[in-house]
Amino acid sequence: MPAPRVRFCPAPSGWLHVGGARTALYNWLHARGNGGAFVFRIEDTDAARATDESMRGMVASLRFLGLDWDEGPEVGGPHGPYRQSERGDLYAAVTAKLLQAGAVYDAYETAEELAAQRAEAERERRPPGYAGGHRGLTDEQREAFRREGRRPVLRVRTPDEGSVTFDDAVRGPVTFEWSSIADFVIERADGTHTYFLANAVDDLAMGINFIARGEDLLSATPRQLLLYTLLLRDGVLDDALADNGYPARPADAVPPAFAHLPLLVGEDRKPLSKRHGSVAVDEFRRQGFLPEVLVNFLALCGWSYDATTERFTVDELVERFSFDRVGRNPALFDTAKLRSLNGDRIKELTDAELAERLQPYLVEAGLLSNPATPADQALLLGFAPLLRERIQTLAEAVPLIAFAFRDEVTYDDRAVAKHLKDRAGEVLDRAAGALADVAWDGDAILATFRALAAELGVGLGKAMQPVRVAVTGTDVSPPLPETLALLDRATVVGRVRSAGARLAQAPDTV
């Protein structure tokens, strides 16, 4: 058996769904664990929906997850091009040969006529698929339709009887009766080609020998198996490749085997969608999930391993993954569990690692330059141990420390109303004086607040919270003494004095 050649071929009409990312991951793990090749192919034959922006997003999401490819965009390879929109000449040559061989036929029905046929089938409780009405058109009938200005689609003639069985690596033997598979379109009336044809041609031409994809595509498999047979019969594909300057198929190429993966579902057991929250890989990146955690989590959405832990490194996943341990039942995408795993992993990062991971989020928020100055890098490194136990995602750190990277304080109205009242002015005045002379470290600053609270006869919180709001603009921050010690003394005292002065002048407008 040759080494696996697998492919991931998303349609670039949006963002990369986590379900698609799991499909890419399983293919990648299978290839990497068995000395194979991972091919990234762009399925952009639907020009009305495909966008370059979406393609760039797909590439970026795969890169974020650490999934590299052996052939495809930005990499190239011996069987390119890897965008289906650039392979139209090959598809046209193949359909011409299939038409000549009698494997496909022109069908001229209008959209309205097809809709009427479906409605009639529904009324008569018949399967809604194409009824084959134009299978046997005469030359005269075709000419008459053309004179009306109709442009045909090309349909594959499916067998009238019998069945097709294939051995699915997840589901075992699967059988479809051909009577349930209607003739299907491979070339649209505008001359563009459908998913069925483009993928069948490219799978064979690129030597893909194993396909893992979502179970929602299970019903498409008989059509692709039929196309594989038609394309290989009498050298149809090989001749089209040679005639159009494409490389020959790999010498050891065989028609692909299949694995259909269970769907990802939310807690309501329905297919995962936006109603369940974030479903795009890039959204999880923006929220600050670590790529290695997301990869680990996605691997476990359908796959299991006999171990006492659910935590695996990428190398461990490559070593242990196999499709015989992928289940058939829908896989729950538990966001709460993902957050918990992410928080656990953040706690294990060193200060330097956490600071490095946080930096892009502060840059994106406009708080750091890119690259950051040495002073800002040092400040961020100082905050790392104060944040580690307080965040479950990297993005959660940004509002906690944004004040430290801004020249001006942005006050939270709720925090001001709650803490800058009553004796807050007196607290700020005394605190400014005390902080101007104290040794500048967390222990000394905490002792100063304790002394201030005792002197004023208030609780420690009453002594600290007005200062926290004055310096940070909010009442939620890392531990205050350690936080103040990271900042420049003049900045801290200046913000405390400024808040006190504004409170004295206009208590409601701090």
R_g over Cα of the chain: 31
d(CA 140, CA 152): 15
Q: What is the C-alpha separation between 157 and 493, in angstroms, rounded? A: 82
Three-state DSSP state, 8: strand
Catalytic residue chosen out of the listed positions 270, 274, 337, 418: 274
User: Is 462 annotated as catalytic?
Assistant: no
- What DSSP designation does 280 have? B
Query: CA of 499: how far to CAs of 412, 416, 457, 464, in Å?
Result: 13, 10, 22, 14
CA dihedral defined by 38, 44, 45, 47, rounded to 10 degrees?
180
Phi, psi torsion values for 5, nearest 5 degrees: -115, 110
Beta strands 104-107 and 153-156, pairing class: antiparallel
Residue type, 181: I
Strand order of the β-sheet with 210-214 is 172-177, 163-168, 257-261, 210-214
Beta strands 153-156 and 184-187, pairing class = antiparallel
Query: Peptide bond before 81: cis, by omega within 30 degrees of 0?
Result: yes
Element (H, E) at 49: none
What's the rounded Cα separation, in Å, for the pair 122 and 437? 85
Alpha-carbon gap, residue 26 to 330, rounded angstroms: 16
Spatial distance between the Cα atoms of 107 and 136, rounded to a whole number of angstroms: 10
Pairing of strands 172-177, 264-265: unpaired
Q: Hey, which residues are catalytic here?
A: 274
